[in-house]
Amino acid sequence: MRYWQRLGAALLTAAMLFCGCARGGAPAEPPPPPKDRVAAAVREMTTAEKAGQLMMVGVYGEEMNEDIAFLLNEYHIGGVILFDRNIGSAGQVRDLTSAMQKTAGDWPLLVAIDEEGGLVARGRDVIPAPPSAADIGAGKDPALARDWAARTAKELKSLGVNLNFAPVADLGLAGDRSYSDEPETVAAFAGAAADGYAAAGLLCTLKHFPGIGKGEADTHLGRVTVDIDLDELRAEDMRPFREVLRGRRSEEVFVMVGHVDYPAVDGDNPASLSPKVYELLRQETGFDGVVVTDDLCMGAVTDQFSAAEAAVQAVRAGADLTLICHEYEDMNAAHRALCRAIEDGTIPAARVDEALTRVLRAKAAHVGVSPAG
C-alpha cells in the first residue's frame, strides 16, 4: 500500500476514533507524524517515480487522453501546468483536472497555472482575470493585492488548480507584470498577495529569483545577462524575495528561479542551472520550500543545453521541481535522463531525497490524499 493510500486509511481510522466508532473502544496506534510519512513515501519510490515527481509538464488537449495518461501512469509526473490549449470552459477544466488527479495514482498532482493578471492570465475565459500587477501597484494599497489574490485563489481552486505561478516579485518587469520598480513597494505588494493566497489555501509562487526585471531581452528567445554587482543584487532585486519569505511557512509558497545570467554570482550558468544561485536563495532567505525552474525549453537554456541535460543539471544545482512546458519529446528525454542520473549517482541520493521531500511535503499540506486513496 502506497503512502497516499496509507495516509487516507490513517485519517479514516483517526476520524472513527474521534467519533467513538472504533471497534471495542480500544485505542488505536496513532499514525506517524507527517514528516515520517513523507520520508516513508520517498523511501518506497522507484527510480521512475522519483524522476517523475521531480517534473512538472505541459500537456495538450482539453480532455483526458492517451498522451496525458501515459505521462501520469508510466512516468509518474508530479505536476501539470495548464495553458490556453487546455482551457475551454470552467466545467471542462474541472473535468480535466479531476480526471488527471484520478489517473495520477499514488501521489496527487500539483496542477499549476500562470494567473498573474493583466497580459498573463491563462484562465481569463473562465474566471475573472485579475488586473495587472502594475495596475494593482498603482493603487498604492497592498490590500488590493491581497484581495485579488484571495479572489483568484478561490476561482482557481474551483477549477481543480492548486498552484499559481504568481505573484511576480521582479522589479520593473516589462508588460506591466511588476507591482513597481521600487524594491520596498514590490515587497509590500507581493507579500500581501502571498498572504491572500495563503488565507485561501492555495499555493503561490514568487518569481523569478533572483530577479529578472533588469534584463534587457527576453529569456524565451535567448541568453540574457544582468551585469550588476552582488551588493546591488542583494539590496534591490533580491529584497522582495527576502522580505516576503522571512518568517513564512515553507509549505505556503514556491519560488521560481529564472534563466538570466548573473556574472556576479555565477559566470558560467544561467540562474536556473547554477548551484551558486540556489545556495544564495537558501542562505539569504532561509527558505526551505520547493524551488521550481522556469520552463527549461526557453531559449536562454536551449541555446546551451538539451531539455534532458538541463533537467539533470537543474536538480543537481538545487532545483526541486523542473518545468518542461511544451514538447512531449523533451519530457520523455528529461525523464529518461533523470532516471539515469538518479541510478548512477550523477544526482546524489541525498539531493534527490531532499527535493522529493519538499515536493511531497507541499502536496501533503495543500493537495491532500489522492482521489484513489
Domain containing residue 263: CATH number: 3.20.20.300
Please indicate, yes or no, if residue 373 is contained in any of the structural domains: no
Q: Identify whether residues 337 and 293 lie together within a single domain.
A: yes
Share of the chain above pLDDT 70, in %: 88
* Residue-level pLDDT at 106: 80
Give the Å distances, CA to CA, from 241 to 188, 189, 209. Answer: 11, 12, 7
Categorize the per-residue pLDDT at 218 as very low, low, confident or very high, splitting at 50, 70 and 90: low
What integer is the mean pLDDT of 144-168? 97
Lowest mean pLDDT among 30-44, 56-70, 292-306, 345-359: 30-44
Q: Identify whether residues 58 and 93 lie together within a single domain.
A: yes
Q: pLDDT of 232-251, one tens digit each?
A: 999 999 999 999 999 899 98
Please indicate, yes or no, if residue 307 is contained in any of the structural domains: yes
Q: What is the DSSP letter of 105?
A: -
Q: Which helix (H) or strand (E) holds 307?
A: helix 307-317
Length of the chain: 373
Q: Identify whether residues 340 and 266 lie together within a single domain.
A: yes
Give the span between the Cα atoms of 107 and 3, in whole angstroms. 8
Please indicate, yes or no, if residue 371 is contained in any of the structural domains: no
| Confidence check: pLDDT of 372 > 60 | no
- Give yes or no for a contact between 194 and 167, defined as CB atoms under 8 angstroms apart: yes
Q: Which set of grid coordinates corresponds to residue 362?
A: 507541499
> Nearest-CA neighbor of 299 among 219, 217, 224?
219
pTM, rounded to two decimals: 0.88
Q: Identify whether residues 82 and 21 lie together within a single domain.
A: no
Q: pLDDT of 329-341, one tens digit each?
A: 999 999 999 999 9
Q: Is pLDDT larger for residue 29 or for residue 61?
A: 61
| Confidence check: pLDDT of 160 > 90 | yes
Please indicate, yes or no, if residue 119 is contained in any of the structural domains: yes
Give the span between the Cα atoms of 190 and 134, in whole angstroms. 12
Q: Identify whether residues 13 and 78 lie together within a single domain.
A: no
Q: Identify whether residues 115 and 182 lie together within a single domain.
A: yes
Domain count, the chain: 2
Give SS3 for 55. strand
> Nearest-CA neighbor of 204 among 152, 275, 246?
152
Categorize the per-residue pLDDT at 371 as very low, low, confident or very high, splitting at 50, 70 and 90: very low
Give the span between the Cα atoms of 37 and 31, in whole angstroms. 9
* Residue-level pLDDT at 349: 97
Q: Identify whether residues 194 and 90 lie together within a single domain.
A: yes
Q: Identify whether residues 327 and 303 lie together within a single domain.
A: yes
Positions annotated as catalytic residues are 220, 294
Domain range for 13 is 1-31
Q: Identify whether residues 99 and 3 lie together within a single domain.
A: no
Q: Identify whether residues 302 and 333 lie together within a single domain.
A: yes
